[in-house]
């Protein structure tokens, strides 16, 4: 591939937060949420990287080429034929880090989409399917990155293609009656730690129950919000992670006992609730949180990562 030509102007990308699993859909279901990180980048003269970060994680994330956003940009540039000499990048992070709301997916997708925007004919050099696959390789699984890229609800999977895993995704229409409430704790849980708690095998009966709930969840999300409670019941991963997030698990148990469609968002510890109720139901949900969680009402983000000229 010929070396790319870089655009002179700055571009801004906004990328939604995302929730994975949605209960039973482990490593395949994703949902884009109305909370966005924003990234601005411009190619500059000189062999330098000028990176500034504000907002969530500003005191802890790296400000060099090991920063996840920058790593994703460089991956994208390499795929399209080569990197520019210099970059100026600004990140405004809103998505909480380590809470199961897709902050790493946002950075990865944002970096790849930014890189594509900065390259002349970038959309031809790296189409969405290729971008999704690179993002999935960086993230380790495609659920969050698919939702962050495409918006709405997605089902993502990997399939063998000549000996390599290739990420794929399809979108699900979300019934407009469905609303989302997030219960966000102050403490974080590393995804790698949460994954280590999962068993190597589960009972056959649990596998069957989980398969039925996952299939039903597609129908519930698109047409039947009244089925969200039963379809978000998980048999595959949440109970095994209880020790890493006891307060979150206790809240899920409490809410589900009251008939609320609650589940752990991604690897946690944020708890997400689907509902289609009125203001009084939302007030009840706020009261259920107690002092351990910040409660935030979120829209489903119908659009994924989007580019505008800065």
- Kindly give the confidence (pLDDT) of every residue in the chain, 310 residues in length, as a single tens digit, with 9 standing for 90 and above: 789 999 999 999 999 999 999 999 999 999 999 999 999 999 999 889 999 999 999 999 999 999 999 999 999 999 999 999 999 999 999 999 999 999 999 999 999 999 999 999 999 999 999 999 999 999 999 999 999 999 999 999 999 888 888 999 999 999 999 999 999 998 888 777 777 888 888 889 989 999 999 999 999 999 999 999 999 999 998 888 888 899 999 999 999 999 999 999 998 999 999 998 777 778 888 888 888 899 999 999 999 999 987 5
114 and 23, same domain (yes or no): yes
Which residue matches tokens 């991604």?
Answer: 266
Tell me the HSE value of 130 on the side-chain side, using a 13 A CA sphere.
Answer: 15
pLDDT of residue 286: 81
Is 4 domain-assigned? Answer: no
Integer CA distances (angstroms), 124 to 4, 79, 117, 127, in order: 11, 12, 11, 6
pLDDT of residue 264: 96
154 and 234, same domain (yes or no): no
286 and 275, same domain (yes or no): yes
- Ordered strands of the 271-275 beta sheet: 261-264, 271-275, 179-185, 293-298
Q: Number of structural domains, the chain? A: 2
125 and 216, same domain (yes or no): no
Which range marks the domain in which residue 153 is found? 11-172+301-309
Is 222 domain-assigned? Answer: yes
């Amino acid at each position: 591939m010929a070396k790319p030509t870089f655009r002179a102007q700055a571009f801004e990308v906004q990328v939604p937060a995302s929730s994975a699993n949605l209960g039973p859909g482990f490593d395949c279901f994703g949902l884009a949420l109305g909370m966005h990180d924003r990234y601005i980048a411009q190619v500059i003269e000189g062999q330098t990287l000028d990176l500034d970060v504000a907002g969530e994680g500003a005191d802890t994330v790296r400000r060099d080429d090991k920063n996840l956003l920058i790593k994703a940009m460089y991956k994208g540039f390499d795929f399209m034929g080569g990197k520019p000499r210099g970059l100026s990048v600004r990140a405004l992070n809103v998505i909480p880090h380590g809470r199961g709301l897709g902050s790493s997916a946002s950075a990865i997708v944002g970096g790849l989409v930014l890189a594509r925007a900065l390259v002349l004919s970038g959309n031809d050099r790296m189409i969405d399917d290729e971008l999704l696959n690179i993002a999935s390789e960086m993230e380790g699984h495609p659920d969050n990155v698919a939702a962050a890229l495409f918006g709405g609800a997605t089902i993502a999977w990997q399939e063998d293609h000549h000996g390599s895993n290739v990420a794929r995704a399809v979108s699900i229409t979300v019934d407009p009656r469905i609303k989302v409430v997030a219960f966000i704790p102050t403490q974080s849980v590393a995804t790698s730690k949460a994954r280590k708690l999962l068993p190597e095998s589960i009972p056959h009966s649990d596998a069957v129950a989980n398969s039925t709930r996952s299939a039903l969840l597609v129908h519930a999300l698109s047409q039947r919000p009244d089925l969200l409670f039963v379809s978000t019941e998980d048999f595959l991963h949440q109970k095994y992670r209880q020790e890493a997030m006891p307060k979150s698990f206790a809240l899920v148990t409490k809410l589900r006992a009251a008939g609320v469609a609650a589940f752990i968002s991604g690897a946690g510890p944020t708890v997400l609730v689907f509902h289609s109720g009125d203001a009084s139901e939302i007030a009840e949900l706020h009261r259920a949180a107690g002092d351990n969680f910040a409660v935030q009402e979120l829209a489903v983000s119908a659009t994924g990562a989007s580019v505008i000229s800065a």
